[in-house]
């Protein structure tokens, strides 16, 4: 037999009627009015008034909830000392549940409950009782009020407001760090016995977490729990009434606990050396490639900043940190030339931007790698010795005379031979020509300064092995004057003279048109 069953039987025995000791259930109602024992008082009319002391026998009744017997449950007995036992008195009951939940034997004053009562629905009932004379229907006692209090039994298990809780705690927390508090409620009477006294225990989640028995506060139980090893934990908490003793009722809830990240991991490059390649023709700002350090942390704890800290290419390359991908993008800072330098070496560092001082001992929170950048050769077009050429030549030179020479070379290491040509759109009259092998420009038609003083040519240089790869250079030819034209009259003059003209008289002004400058 359990303790709960023993207590239940004891309570039932206490409140069942015992014929040999009925007076245990009652006491005389105190009479607050002034009493005179056998005395008389005179009223206004001079007649004597007899004071009668109250004779109610009543008490506060107690009733056990959840009664399961087949008969009505006996509550108690109302009795007046005016009752002579001859059936002349009638007991009347009114108030909470009178006539339905509670009935009274109008002859004996015995009160019974007609059905099972739940204390959690109503903890007490207030009723009023009256005794009247059956023949005259006049009260023999003043109406009196009494209370039926429902005694609690442990019929409600503890319940949690949530079936599943969600909580979090930072990883690497010290033992005893508070995670979350769970609280269960018990509908039983907390002022009576231990029916509502709850004790918490952990059914699942050890040895990682513990719970305080009295408060329900869940705490960490192991040191240095690492999110990178395990992030999610499921903890089952039990709440048991009766102070956790055997026979108590219980309820459970689940708490899903997540370890949140702290910066306890430094960034690490997966390789000690990284090889990249870039064509020499890549313009400034071109992205060569990326480097990335891995960090086991998340969010801002994994953010890094990249920089070039050493190497022979610090002035030739830049590195930029991409916040969204956490990569370091290496770009060209100055023009590259395969023929000048073919390999650069950089030392790149990645460092956490948000370091937690508590974990300095796990550092340093940075790492380095070597980046080797190979410059690849590109078949570059020929390069002229000058950006432009100016040649001056007299207009009377013979045909085939060389007026000047342009020079170009292949900047590539292969040094391919160069072929020269004239862009005929710049020499539609084909006055000039060029030797394809050595770049010498010569005349193929006579020159005449009076027709054109300047000729603007465009010379094309192409590699013989790659004729599509060409370069152009402007060539300006200035024609110098020679005295190769006689003076001419500007107009035809028709002059008249009078027969009587005197000697020395001016007849006409004549003008010469000089198409050439003095030679």
Residue 140, number of CB atoms within 10 A of its CB:
17
**Distance of CA 20 to CAs 25, 26, 62, Å?**
12, 14, 20
Helix (H) or strand (E) holding 383: strand 383-384
Q: Is the dihedral of CA 415, 417, 423, 429 positive or negative?
A: positive
Query: Could you give the count of Cα atoms lying within 13 Å of 295 in the half-sphere of its Cβ?
Result: 31
If you ran DSSP here, which 8-state letter would residue 294 be given? Answer: B
Angle at 109 between CA 147 and CA 64, to 5 degrees: 45
d(CA 318, CA 290) in angstroms, rounded, equals 11
**pTM score:** 0.58
CB 302, CB 398: distance < 8 Å: no
* Residue-level pLDDT, tens digit, the chain, 519 residues: 455 554 455 444 444 444 333 333 333 333 333 332 233 333 444 443 343 444 444 556 777 767 767 788 888 888 888 888 888 899 999 988 888 888 998 888 888 988 888 877 888 888 898 899 988 889 988 888 888 887 767 778 999 999 999 999 999 999 999 999 999 998 877 877 788 899 999 999 999 999 999 999 999 999 999 999 999 999 999 999 988 888 889 999 999 999 999 999 999 999 999 999 999 999 999 999 999 999 999 999 999 999 999 999 999 999 999 999 999 999 999 999 998 999 999 999 999 999 999 999 988 999 999 999 999 988 888 999 999 999 999 999 999 999 999 999 988 777 789 999 999 999 999 999 999 999 999 999 999 998 899 999 999 999 888 888 899 999 999 999 887 676 776 677 677 777 777 777 776 776 666 554 444
Count CB neighbours of 239 within 10 A: 26
Q: What is the CA radius of gyration of the chain?
A: 60
Phi/psi at 109 (5° precision): 85, 5
How many C-beta atoms surround the C-beta of residue 374 within 10 A? 12
Answer yes or no: are the C-beta atoms of 248 and 240 closer than 8 Å.
yes
CA distance linking residue 384 with residue 461, whole number of Å: 8
Contact 344, 375 (CB under 8 A): yes
CATH numbers and ranges of domains, the chain:
60-151 (2.60.40.60), 164-260 (2.60.40.60), 273-376 (2.60.40.60), 383-480 (2.60.40.60)
**How does strand 250-260 pair with strand 164-170?**
parallel
């Amino acid at each position: 037999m359990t303790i709960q069953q023993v207590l239940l039987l004891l309570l039932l025995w206490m409140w069942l009627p015992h014929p040999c000791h009925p007076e245990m259930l009652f006491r005389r109602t105190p009479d607050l009015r002034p009493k005179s024992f056998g005395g008389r008082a005179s009223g206004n009319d001079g007649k004597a008034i007899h004071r009668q002391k109250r004779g109610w026998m009543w008490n506060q009744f107690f009733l056990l909830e959840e009664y399961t017997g087949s008969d009505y449950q006996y509550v108690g007995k109302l009795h007046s000392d005016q009752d002579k036992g001859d059936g002349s008195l009638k007991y009347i009951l009114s108030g909470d549940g009178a006539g339905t939940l509670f009935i009274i034997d109008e002859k004996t004053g015995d009160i019974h409950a007609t059905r099972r009562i739940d204390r959690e629905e109503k903890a007490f009932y207030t009723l009023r009782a009256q005794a009247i004379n059956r023949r005259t229907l006049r009260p023999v006692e003043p109406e009196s009020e009494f209370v039926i209090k429902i005694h609690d039994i442990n019929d409600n298990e503890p319940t949690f407001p949530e079936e599943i809780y969600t909580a979090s705690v930072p990883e690497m927390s010290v033992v005893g760090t508070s995670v979350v508090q769970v609280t269960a409620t018990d509908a039983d009477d907390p002022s009576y016995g231990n029916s509502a006294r709850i004790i918490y225990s952990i059914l699942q989640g050890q040895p990682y977490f513990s719970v305080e028995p009295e408060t329900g506060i869940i705490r960490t139980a192991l040191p240095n729990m690492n999110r990178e090893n395990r992030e999610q934990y499921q903890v089952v908490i039990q709440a048991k009434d009766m102070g956790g003793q055997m026979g108590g009722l219980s309820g459970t809830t689940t708490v899903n606990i997540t370890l949140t990240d702290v910066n306890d991991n430094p960034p690490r490059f997966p390789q000690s050396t990284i090889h990249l390649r870039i064509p020499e023709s890549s313009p400034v700002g071109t992205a060569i490639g990326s480097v990335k350090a891995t960090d086991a942390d998340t969010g801002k704890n994994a953010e890094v900043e990249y920089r070039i800290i050493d190497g022979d290419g610090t002035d030739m390359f830049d590195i930029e940190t991409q916040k969204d991908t956490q990569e370091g993008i290496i770009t060209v800072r100055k023009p590259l030339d395969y023929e000048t330098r073919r390999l650069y070496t950089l030392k790149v560092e990645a460092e956490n931007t948000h370091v937690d001082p508590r974990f300095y001992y796990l550092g340093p929170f940075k790492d380095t790698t070597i980046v080797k950048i190979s410059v690849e050769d590109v078949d570059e077009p020929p390069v002229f010795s000058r950006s432009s050429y100016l040649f001056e030549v007299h207009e009377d030179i013979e045909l085939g005379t060389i007026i000047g020479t342009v020079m170009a070379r292949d900047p590539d290491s292969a040094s391919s031979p160069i072929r020269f040509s004239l862009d005929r759109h710049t020499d539609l009259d084909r006055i000039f020509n060029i030797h394809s092998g050595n770049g010498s420009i010569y005349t193929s038609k006579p020159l005449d300064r009076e027709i054109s003083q300047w000729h603007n040519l465009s010379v094309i240089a192409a590699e013989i092995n790659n004729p599509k790869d060409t370069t152009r250079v402007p060539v300006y030819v200035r024609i110098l004057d020679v005295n190769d034209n006689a003076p001419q009259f500007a107009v035809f003059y028709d002059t008249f003279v009078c027969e009587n003209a005197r000697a020395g008289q001016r007849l006409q002004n004549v003008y010469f048109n000089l198409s050439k400058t003095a030679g």
